[in-house]
Structure 1
């Protein structure tokens, strides 16, 4: 009887918690919004490229308060669903914060007793922008940067039983110098709603005294080796790292090292290369030993692939994958959601855009002035999508930036702004280094906050020589890096050409259709050109594709179509903003896209 009573009590509590939350506002929703379980929000392991078996998800309902800068909460305004930004519908709040206020979070948690002899790490996938964190009123750390994961060792702050986390967030959106992508305080046109606070999974992880902090995985197909650098929090000369490479259930290679050296692994002669058509991944098991004692173990994965450029027999510099010419073609992907803003409602939703990109015959995505959660890049690795990764733009207003673009002058940033840019760009590269799908770094877009282009590009190339660098997509052009990137709307056009670098069309298209059943707002909608039916949009898309084919023969080595989905009042997506309608004829678009992707192999 007691067991039945306990079960019923638990069910009632769960139903009560669920009843306290609902999406805020009446804006457009995706189908996944109704599938959210308040007690199990984004339950998937958040870092599949470096996985341990034990972890605890802290997503769910937290207390929140919005207060003037400098004030601390004596009580809270209500509950917010983490990890959805406070301005989003799925947060259950949908309120603005602004640069003169701070957003506070608070929740309780308990540490499983079986973790007692471990260090406890508190992880945040991403918090926009500056986060201060306390555990049991003990300050455990601060992180500045809205797009990268961070963690704190909170072991010394923990108590037996119930513990309390507090997080304070300050985010000036477009009133500050920090990277913030498309966020503005007055959304219109190509600029969107602000995103403030926690917007990726928060989680706890037990680790041993000596543990692996990071993995840096570097394939080399030219000498058929895989380099695995396991970076630990503590190092002694007795530490030994061993790496096992598996293909399914079969062990195909092993390697080991001491003295802080990366493990260099000779891969088998019949190694399987990663390509969009065959995105083969090898599983990795990485173990750190002290003598015969295992200190830590993580599971990971890797791919054998190479990004490079080479002049073809007509003298055109082409992008190459695995030493073969490949025309890289994909959509401009903003990564926004009508209900979650920066955060997809579910992991299925997060993966959906990638699946549809593949369904439409593309082999690449340009991730536009945003960085995604780790699982998004793993989905790209698994599905075979090459990623061009933008640095989110920032430093003052879009109006100034566009003026700067047309005058052709580089931005002169403050010392604080420049230092922050460099710090956040380095953190993004470090975060994404081991993902096989990431093939191109893009430090600047259309002169938005562009500064010291040659220096930033050369630093990026030096810091990660395994990838290509696109210095400024459609921006102020300098003869540096691997790529000259042109933008032209609506149709493809080549108005510049670089005989020494790959010439690409970094943005074109923007074919609009305001489907009245799937709009963020009933009016104010726009695209670079507007049509009224799927057939009209598809006809125009195919017309541009045929034009692009001719320009590929003349010298283009990649192209980016604007864009994956509608976003707020932009209606030039291949899909509607709610993802409920594919706006083009999939079969026709897939056919012509595949012809484009394969054009250099004919």
Structure 2
């Protein structure tokens, strides 16, 4: 009897290990745009709380849940003698989604706590349904309360999260949702204290109420199987919350006349395999998207998914079996004309529209996951995407806790966008200084990305740790042994030498892999015209790009692309030249007003040549 019991326990352990390690399994609800939602966007009342009075008492102890002075509790006095030292009022409101820094001068440099409050009415369409509050992103830490009760806490400025609202807590009238938002920087967070972009705070992306059946399709991964070459096998999984073993789910692709049944296991997961011989692959020229319907006995979700092959063969990157050259550009999630975080569909149209006008077939979304509107739009436009987590510069690579935070943000990025055909590269970081502990840290992140999504390439923007042999500059960062493509940032002619330095420079890597330049660029103030040898002028930046392009034409045969830094000027507190920067990094090809600089046309000319060559 004991032997049978031990054997059953062993089998159960194996099942749990498989469920945990085979793919992402989280509480995040995916595909929010195609579910039953109620927007909570709009005006939210706020309180600036620099001393965190609403969270700690005067002895700096965390307040009790029912403490009347806790800012998550009602601010309405019970009577004329009920003293309240906090209050929410329409005199003080912030737009959601939106960063607070760009909404009032007093917020420009603010780092600390702001309490947000939103009142709403809600009645479920079915009392048995579940209700979640979903945040596209909050920068950086969010503590979420409803009607005085804490729903949960999330860290990470660029990832979505949701919390279930218990039925016992929800009211049909006068619910009040309170979010404590804290954007302070810490040495043990991701990113860390030191970055080269503005620390925008606030509820920076959409907020929604999401109503689903008690048993609902929470997550799924539907992509081409690997190995990709000449394969029309669609593979993946579907997760159904609260499903019982052997219940059925259906995956339908009406255009291909596919409607197949699968059964879930005890964990609510159904493994999916579909042969699709008539499948048309998503490509740059024809970004084909299929309507995919997934249904269970109580729920149905739909979205448009593209299927394509992306792989490395030797020193080449192949898209659908064809050699690919990446004509890229790096992008920050920022609208320069207004100096704010991008968060609307119009913003996504502007940024990706500018990239297409430049002649790009690829964008590097740096240095963190961008709004989901960007990746969905890239799907429909036929733009390839590099998506990255903010493991940036000198984080604490010795800390297991920091690694877990980085891993969580990586998992959240992949979880949200794993069904986007446009995304071909998951990047685990940027310009991390070489050391053994750093290499192990990054190597483990790369392994995590491959485990969660084996269908895409993995990389990182490497620090420029090269040595020169005469005029040959070798990229030999040890992390290159673990990535699919060797990507590096170089600013020859800006951070060292002059643009003329490019004339004798040649680049290579000891790794027999594709070689990609993930950044290069020089600053120029839009509208400042002078001699080409005058720093900060448009003419200097134009000269820089001309010399870079000539150098790129001498790159070795494994050179597969470039994503210069950067599409548009963006705010940065590190940039303090009082004449030429004033808190802006001006390496953009578009200036603060959205106007093209002269260097734009140099890069566009190069990309037009490449487009004809690789047509």
- Which interval holds the TM-score relative to the shorter structure? 0.7 to 0.9
Counterpart of 1:303? Answer: 306
The alignment of Structure 1 onto Structure 2 pairs a total of residues equal to 505
Q: Distance in 2 between matches of 1:236 and 1:341?
A: 50
Counterpart of 2:22? Answer: none
Flag the 1:417–1:288 CA change in 2: closer, same or farther, 3 A: same
Q: Distance in 2 between matches of 1:502 and 1:139?
A: 49
**Alignment of 1:131 onto 2:142:** yes
**Alignment of 1:148 onto 2:150:** no
Query: Deviations for 1:399-447, whole angstroms, at most 9, x for unmatched residues?
Result: xx3xxxxxxxx95432322221222222222222111111112212111
**Alignment of 1:261 onto 2:270:** yes
Q: Distance in 1 between matches of 2:404 and 2:374?
A: 28
1:539-578 alignment runs, 5 A limit: 541-551=545-555, 553-568=556-571, 569-578=584-593
* Structure 1 counterpart of 2:36, from 38, 51, 54: 54
* Structure 2 counterpart of 1:214, from 199, 211, 219: 219
**Alignment of 1:426 onto 2:430:** no
Q: Is the Cα contact below 8 Å between 1:58 and 1:203 reproduced in 2?
A: yes
Q: Distance in 2 between matches of 1:258 and 1:378?
A: 29
**Alignment of 1:193 onto 2:222:** no
Q: Is the Cα contact below 8 Å between 2:139 and 2:203 reproduced in 1?
A: yes
SS at match of 2:548: helix
Q: Is the Cα contact below 8 Å between 1:339 and 1:345 reproduced in 2?
A: no
* Structure 2 counterpart of 1:176, from 187, 196, 216: 187
Q: Is the Cα contact below 8 Å between 2:188 and 2:396 reproduced in 1?
A: no
Counterpart of 1:87? Answer: 101
* Structure 1 counterpart of 2:536, from 527, 530, 534: 530
Flag the 1:303–1:113 CA change in 2: closer, same or farther, 3 A: closer
Flag the 1:133–1:339 CA change in 2: closer, same or farther, 3 A: farther
- Structure 1 position 88, deviation (Å): 2.1
Q: Is the Cα contact below 8 Å between 2:30 and 2:219 reproduced in 1?
A: no
Flag the 1:49–1:529 CA change in 2: closer, same or farther, 3 A: farther
Q: Distance in 2 between matches of 1:159 and 1:528?
A: 65
- Structure 1 position 342, deviation (Å): 5.8
Gaps of 5+ in 2: 1-28, 57-69, 72-85, 466-476, 494-498, 572-583
Q: TM-score by structure 2 length?
A: 0.75
- Structure 1 position 93, deviation (Å): 6.2
**Alignment of 1:244 onto 2:252:** yes
Flag the 1:168–1:297 CA change in 2: closer, same or farther, 3 A: same
Q: Is the Cα contact below 8 Å between 1:88 and 1:339 reproduced in 2?
A: no
Counterpart of 2:376? Answer: 378
* Structure 1 counterpart of 2:456, from 457, 461, 467: 467
Q: Is the Cα contact below 8 Å between 1:49 and 1:378 reproduced in 2?
A: no
Q: TM-score by structure 1 length?
A: 0.77
SS at match of 1:561: coil
| CA RMSD across the alignment | 2.9
Q: Is the Cα contact below 8 Å between 2:101 and 2:340 reproduced in 1?
A: no
Q: Distance in 1 between matches of 2:343 and 2:138?
A: 17
1:349-388 alignment runs, 5 A limit: 349-388=347-386
* Structure 2 counterpart of 1:447, from 432, 448, 455: 432
Moved more, 376-385 or 431-440: 431-440
Q: Distance in 2 between matches of 1:348 and 1:262?
A: 37
Moved more, 565-574 or 444-453: 444-453
- Structure 1 position 539, deviation (Å): 6.3
Q: Is the Cα contact below 8 Å between 2:122 and 2:171 reproduced in 1?
A: no
- Largest Rg, 1 or 2: 2
* Structure 1 counterpart of 2:292, from 284, 291, 294: 284
